[in-house]
Chain A
Amino acid sequence: ELKVEQNPLFLSMQEGKNYTIYCNYSTTSDRLYWYRQDPGKSLESLFVLLSNGAVKQEGRLMASLDTKARLSTLHITAAVHDLSATYFCAAFDSGTYKYIFGTGTRLKVLA
Chain B
Amino acid sequence: DAGVIQSPRHEVTEMGQEVTLRCKPISGHNSLFWYRQTMMRGLELLIYFNNNVPIDDSGMPEDRFSAKMPNASFSTLKIQPSEPRDSAVYFCASSFTGASYGYTFGSGTRLTVV
Contact = CB atoms under 8 A, between A and B. Distances in A.
Q: Which range holds the interface residue count of chain B?
A: 20 to 34
A97 B30 CA distance: 12
A101 B108 CA distance: 17
A44 B4 CA distance: 12
Interface in B38-62: 42-43, 45, 48, 50, 55-56
A44 B42 CA distance: 16
A contact face: mostly helix, strand, loop, or mixed: strand
Interface in B10-62: 31, 33, 42-43, 45, 48, 50, 55-56
Contacts of B106: 42
A101 B46 CA distance: 13
A42 B108 contact: yes
Interface residues of A, number: 20
18 contacts: A33-B102, A33-B103, A35-B102, A42-B105, A44-B105, A45-B102, A48-B100, A48-B101, A50-B100, A97-B31, A97-B55, A97-B97, A98-B33, A98-B45, A98-B56, A99-B103, A101-B45, A104-B43
Interface of B: 31, 33, 42-43, 45, 48, 50, 55-56, 91, 93, 97, 100-108
